[in-house]
Amino acid sequence: MTNITGNDGPITEVREGMTVFDSTGEKVGTVREIQMGDPQAATAKGQDSGNTGGIVGSIADAFSTGSLPDAAKERLARLGFVRVDASGLFAGDRYAASDEVAAVRDDALHLSVPGDQLIG
């Protein structure tokens, strides 16, 4: 059975500083942060409650810019995500949900989607 919360699968092998490649083989940036999923994270409003403890607080801190739509925050909080410090065409922080992590090999993260489809 597949665990959709991002607590197993390739995301567990991701480490900060890894180079990130999209599904076309294009370099997107480097891993800035990894957050495992929380199936109890039902709403983004709960993430913005000011609670700074535990996984809820960690996810709230990760989205402190508030620039992501609530639906995207909720999805990322439930599934888990990788925050990518993007460069070039994809400059700025971008987010890949755990279900977009295709593989980790040769000290690099390979995504299953093109870089322009990352949240950010």
CA dihedral of residues 111, 15, 87, 105 (deg, nearest 10): -40
Whether residue 29 lies inside any domain: the answer is yes
Domain coverage including residue 32: 10-117
Over the stretch 42-82, which tens digit does the pLDDT of each residue have?
554 544 444 444 544 555 555 554 578 888 888 998 999 99
Residue 5 lies in a domain: no
Our count of domains for the chain comes to 1
Please report whether residue 88 resides in a domain. yes
Whether the Cβ atoms of residue 79 and residue 99 lie closer than 8 Å to each other: yes
Q: With respect to residue 20, please indicate whether it lies within any of the assigned structural domains.
A: yes
Q: Indicate whether 2 belongs to any domain.
A: no
Q: What is the CATH number of the domain that holds 101?
A: 2.30.30.240
Q: Is residue 77 assigned to a domain?
A: yes
Torsion of CA 80, 86, 91, 92, to 10 degrees: 50
| Residue 97 within a domain | yes
pTM: 0.74
Helices (H) and strands (E) in the chain, counts: 3, 6
Could you give the CA distance from residue 31 to residue 16 in angstroms, rounded to a whole number?
5
pLDDT tens-digit series, residues 85-108:
987 665 788 999 999 999 999 999
Is the residue at 1 inside a domain? no
